[in-house]
Structure 1
Amino acid sequence: MCGIYGYISLKEPIEPETLRRMGHALKHRGPDDEAEWIQNSTEMSIGLGHKRLSIIDLSPAGRQPMANEDETIWIVFNGEIYNFKDLRKELEKKGHRFRSNSDTEVIIHLYEERGTQCLESLRGMFAFALWDNKTKTLFLGRDRIGKKPIHYSVTPSGIVFASEIKALLQHPDMIRELDLKSLSKYLTYEYVPAPDTIFKSIKKLEPGHYLLYRHGKVSLSKYWDIPIEDYPIADRTEEQYTEELREILDKAVRDRLVADVPVGLFVSGGIDSGLVAAFAARASQQLECFTIGFDEPSFDESRYALQIAQGLGIKPHVKIFHAQEMLRMVERLPDVLDEPLADPSILPLYLLSQFASHKMKVVLSGDGGDELFLRCAARVHEVSPQRTGVQSTCISRILEHGFQDQAVPQRSRGLF
């Protein structure tokens, strides 16, 4: 992950020290490089900053903030565009010239070609801030599902934005007033749903949305939503659905293995991370995976993760944590989280990420499988049993027949 931040001032010049403080609050997001760009004018002033975790194009050419040839468009970007090579070929045929091999530069030229409709062509996880100096417009965009965060606050003197709330709070215009409605939502849902945050003055840009800020005015637009359509499930065979799902998962994992640094895996021993690991093992050699265990046997599932790793020929790394380490982590949560979150999985996930970060910059995980395949108990009642059964059967068939040349533990096969 990288960290992006910046602000527009309608009245005063950009204060470099304010921008520096905002960036310092995000230093954990980008240890490889950092840079800032400031443009002061009588009409309005803008400052952009970037903390870089180098994944694609590790050279100085990939440094951000990044501009087009005549420096009329500037961007700071966090994430990864999986189809950037295909988009680059299309743009080169139309005469666009590139100075780097990064996916970031593709967004700049795609914006030149299509404006805000560039979002419809991007396939990946992303959050970015793009400044168009010709139209004096700030363009904030976020990926369809919201994997990458971006927060903003509109003030009388401009707009402030950043990957995390803690960076916005470094700006002197921020008012640290608790939003009681957001607190009520937190107590109901155990998190604060977008577009709200726990602070009245700060908002989340919602997934599948973009924001335009021009001449002191904000407009928000939705460019994508989950398609809710009733596809008949009887027009194709179960085997056809299974094969299509296998192909989708295979391509999704292959796309996410593209990087100029090694890519590892989080393997828990469950079905989701096991499936990702199996597809990754097909696509790449010499993979490494990371697992944590606990000294309390009733909570420790590391043995299942080891079975998956050994069966797929993946090098495992396992670390056993103790209760005292978990308690110490609780004390650090206010530094890690910007707003309350009642999800206990943050503890093992943080420890696992910390453990893996000593060897890897990028890892793939099985997060999101429960939501995609309707295994969340609170949501199952909203979906017809027939449709749920088909999805479950497709996954089971992939496990049983899709990896006959690779061992998958019996525990994972029996989860459906």
Structure 2
Amino acid sequence: MCGIAGILSSPAGLTDLEANLVRMQSALLHRGPDDGGVWMDGIRSVGLAHRRLSILDLSSAGHQPMISADGRRVICFNGEIYNFRELRADLESRGVVFATQSDTEVLLQLYARHGENMVRQLRGMFAFCLWDEDKQEALLARDPLGIKPLYVHEANGTLAFASELRALCGSGIFKPALDAEAVCRYFETGTVPEPLTLAKEVRMLEAGHTLVWKAGKTQRQRYWNLSFGSDFSGDDIRHAREALIDSVRHHFVSDVPVGVFLSGGIDSTAILALANEAGHRGISSFSITVDDEVADEGPIARRTAAHFGSNHHEMRLDAEVARGLFGEFLKHLDQPSIDGLNTFTVSSLARQHGMKVVLSGLGGDELFGGYSSFSKIPKMLRLHPVLSRVPGLPMLLQRGKPQHRRLADFLRSPGTVADAFGALRGIFSKGEAAALTRWITGEGSQFAVPGSRLESGKNDGAAQDQISELELTRYMRNQLLRDSDVMSMARGLELRVPFVDRVLAERITEIPAPQRLRPNKALLTEAVPEVPEWVVNQKKRGFLFPYQKWLGSEWGDEFARAGAGAPVPMPNWYQVWSVFVLKHCIESLGMKP
């Protein structure tokens, strides 16, 4: 896991190539405290920068940017390739000789034989740029499910990229300006959806895509897409268990110890149980306890750790301790989000105990139907044709609570799965988001609704698959994965997500929705029967902190000031939080509306 950055320009491009590269590299220091490097071509039109967190091949042979033995290719790479040993063995059988034990060198050799198509063979989380000196072109790529970020700026034939938006905005290549559409989408959903970013000049390379740059021109291509099966005839429980064990085993590929984030929920407990099954017993586990009996999962996590024999560590968090961490959290916040402090906190704990790699249960709810959206959205779809025809109902709902105002949006919509998802997952109604956008940016907010290929399903099975896809590609990708990456890397920690694995996703989604998405994640708990009953039978709470309580006491004044003068009411903590962190990001990124 690392931080990468680079600039691709024509021979008459940037005059300050090295200075721009060094600025971006310095901004990514926290992502790679172990080593760093900068490479530039002979005429200084192309440059790559890297910060390294050593996980595989801890020697200096793993230094990046890495140059191929023949000097024809150079790569800077962020992430891990979990099947690199299988890929390496295949290449060696064809006569390829390797100089290192790193997965980075495997990428160089794969490209030499397969070109851009090499990305289809990769199993892992990755974002990289590979420069081909002979072709004078670059290949940029991002993993299928969007675990690792890659931000891109294009202007006048020059392309710059980085692992974090902050690095690009501070590069000196351009002056960042606030994107009003990104602000509006943020207020609607609680995150900035890719490919948008807060900066007009920067876009995210979308998950499962490659980008080829040559002579100032770019071409993007999707190389992977999620699909769902409907005619699986095997033993679904056995099929799921084999796929899960396989994924967890691959996620232990490391030359340093691997730990696990352990909440009181099913997903992280299943990861710990499968780690034991895969032969990794006694690993370190990390949990946060909070000063709120309803939200605190510490006692269950403690009991689970003792049950599986993990080396358990806890951090007790109250409003005062959390406030002490909050400043550092804000310092590393790359794009605004209503989440992320939990990951930052538990990552701090893991790093204090010397960890470089941890596993997380993120993604289990999306694959196995753990969210309330899987039961609520089908009901919303069935009621839409009736309620949307009730005279005056949307206007009446508009006067209600925040969730009622979002429901009014849904009743005014065509009533697709995506419409229902937006209303259920939203933060503000569309009208409120528009008013807040004008308040923050001074611009109107008549933006086209993002296109969606998802339509309302003909039956609950089809709708459930669409809900799963939306949870995976919107909520998980745009919020959970992004926050997990930036907040774990803020502490120099690599966070791995065995549920968010291309091979696992392809295998699990072969199982039709009625079996895969049974209530209470039944398929997952049956596939991993080692998960104790005290975990399975508890009410789902999620890995949350008691923000409402904290904002009502020690934190209240600062957040109240941020929301002063807002054109809409904000009765919920996450609404106040959303305004506070957005204003902070705008200021810290040096943006102007």
* Length-normalised TM-score, structure 1: 0.92
* CA shift digits 1:302-332 (9 cap, x unpaired): 1111111111111110110111222344444
In the alignment, residue 176 of structure 1 is paired with which amino acid? P
Alpha-carbon separation, structure 1, partners of 2:122 and 2:524:
29
Q: Tell me the secondary structure at the aligned position of residue 290 of structure 1.
A: strand
Distance 1:401 1:6 in 2: 44
1:412 aligns with 2:539: no
AA in 2 matched with 1:392: R
Residue aligning to 1:268: 263
Partner SS for 1:298 = coil
18-27 or 379-388, larger mean C-alpha shift: 379-388
Q: String of CA shifts for 1:245-276, please: whole Å, max 9, x gaps.
A: 00111110111011000000000010000000
Shift of 1:334: 3.6
What residue is the counterpart of 1:355 in the other structure? 349
Asked if the contact 1:373/1:388 (under 8 Å) is kept, the reply is no
Whole-angstrom distance in 1 between the partners of 2:122 and 2:527: 33
What are the residue-to-residue correspondences of 1:396-411 with 2, within 5 Å? 396=522, 399=525, 402-403=528-529, 408-411=532-535
- Which of 316, 340, 356 is the matching residue for 2:312? 316
Superposed counterparts of 1:314-393, under 5 Å: 314-343=310-339, 346-358=340-352, 359-380=354-375, 381=377, 382=417, 383-384=460-461, 387-388=513-514, 390-392=516-518
Paired residue for 2:275? 280
CA distance in 2, matches of 1:339, 1:276: 29
Deviation at 1:39, TM superposition (A): 1.3
Which protein has the bigger strand share? 1
- Greater shift, 164-173 or 24-33, is seen at 164-173
Equivalent-residue separation in structure 1 for 2:309 and 2:165 (angstroms):
41
Distance 1:402 1:3, change over 3 A: closer
- Structure 2 alignment gaps of length 5 or more: 378-416, 418-459, 465-511, 541-593
What are the superposed Cα offsets for residues 63-106 of structure 1, whole Å, 9 maximum, x if unpaired? 11111111110001111111101100111122211110001111
Structure-2 residue corresponding to 1:188: 188
The yes-or-no answer on 1:253 pairing with 2:377 is no
Distance between the aligned counterparts of 2:219 and 2:191, measured in 1? Answer: 26
> Contact 2:241–2:527 at 8 Å: present in 1 too?
no
Identity %: 37
Alpha carbons 2:4, 2:78 under 8 Å: kept? yes
What is the deviation of 1:394?
A: 9.8
Tell whether the 8 Å contact from 2:157 to 2:217 is kept in structure 1 after alignment. Answer: no
Change (3 A) 1:14 1:65: farther
3-state DSSP of counterpart to 1:297:
coil
Shift of 1:13: 4.8
Letter in 2 for 1:186: Y
The one-letter code sitting in structure 2 at the alignment partner of 1:209 is H
Q: State whether residues 312 and 407 of structure 1, in contact with CA within 8 Å, keep that contact through their aligned partners in structure 2.
A: no
1:106 is aligned to 106
Tell me, in whole angstroms, the C-alpha distance in 2 between the residues paired with 1:248 and 1:282: 13
Cα distance change, pair 326–70 in 1 and its aligned pair in 2 (3 A) = same
Structure 2 residue aligned with 1:23: 25
The answer to whether the Cα contact below 8 Å between 2:17 and 2:45 also exists between their aligned partners in 1 is no
- 2:515 touches 2:523 (CA, 8 Å); kept in 1? no
Kindly provide the CA deviation profile for residues 287-308 of structure 1, in whole angstroms up to 9, marking residues without a partner as x: 1100010122222111111111
d(CA) in 2 for partners of 1:56, 1:73: 21
* Counterpart residue number, 1:97: 97
In structure 2, the CA distance between the partners of 1:97 and 1:394, relative to structure 1 (3 Å rule), is: farther
- Contact (CA 8 Å) 1:208, 1:225: kept in 2 or not? yes
Per mean C-alpha deviation after superposition, the further-off stretch among 330-339 and 277-286 is 330-339
CA distance in 1 between partners of 2:77 and 2:527 (Å): 40
Q: Which moved more, 1:285-294 or 1:7-16?
A: 7-16
Q: 1:170: Cα distance to partner?
A: 2.4
Matches of 2:115 and 2:78 in 1, distance apart?
19
Larger helix share, 1 or 2: 2
Query: Residues 136-151 of structure 1 correspond to what in structure 2 (within 5 A)?
Result: 136-151=136-151
Letter in 2 for 1:198: L
Does the alignment pair 1:232 with 2:231? yes
Match of 1:39 in 2: 41
Contact 2:274 2:528 in 1 (8 A): no
Measured in 1, the distance between the counterparts of 2:140 and 2:374 equals 31
Contact 2:74–2:130, Cα closer than 8 Å, also in 1:
yes
Please give the alpha-carbon distance, in whole angstroms, between the structure 2 residues aligned to 1:248 and 1:193: 30
| 1:201-220 alignment, distance < 5 Å | 201-220=201-220
Q: Please identify, of 89-98 and 257-266, the stretch whose mean Cα deviation from structure 2 is larger.
A: 89-98
8 A Cα contact 1:400 1:413, kept in partner: no
1:290 paired residue number: 286
Q: 2: CA distance between counterparts of 1:370 and 1:398?
A: 10
Alpha carbons 1:5, 1:162 under 8 Å: kept: yes
